[in-house]
Amino acid sequence: MWTRRRRTTAAWAGVGLAVLFSLMVTFYRTPFDPLDAGRWPVSGQYVGQTKPSLYERFGPPSHEREGYYGNPGVDYAGQHSPSITATYIRSTGVLHLGFESVGGAWVCYSSDWMPNGWGF
């Protein structure tokens, strides 16, 4: 049988772990979301991976459209034509993926994780 002191200690330990976990989620990243790359922008993380492999890993994107994200220059747009942009919107930020057709397969040529509060 647990004594009152042990129960109080166990309760405070549980509260401490809950506070530690909530601080980690708030100030670092959501450990349950594989797309959440933290509080700082990350570029190029998924470059070279195919569209089907990323869609299988992360599920369908929030938005998908033909064209580019951001406002690329003419030279850049010409190098990656045709292009498809996929966007994954999360509560902590947005992941932008750019795909180009290479040998009949759609391959990621640009990926940018933009946490809330950051911009291009």
pLDDT in tens, 12-39: 888 888 777 766 655 555 555 666 667 7
Residue 7 forms part of a structural domain: yes
Residue range of the domain that includes 21 = 1-32
CA distances from 80 to 53, 61, 68, 77, 95 (A): 20, 20, 9, 5, 19
Q: What is the pLDDT of residues 46-97, one digit of tens each?
A: 999 999 999 999 999 999 999 888 788 888 888 888 999 999 998 888 999 9
Bigger pLDDT: 18 vs 43: 43
Q: What is the pLDDT of residues 96-118, one digit of tens each?
A: 999 999 999 999 999 999 988 87
**Beta strand pairing call for 63-66 and 83-90:** antiparallel
Regarding whether 72 and 82 lie in a shared domain, the answer is yes
Q: Are residues 46 and 28 in the same domain?
A: no
Residue 120, domain member (yes or no):
no
What is the number of structural domains in the chain? 2
E-assigned strands of 1-120? 42-43, 63-66, 83-90, 93-102, 105-115
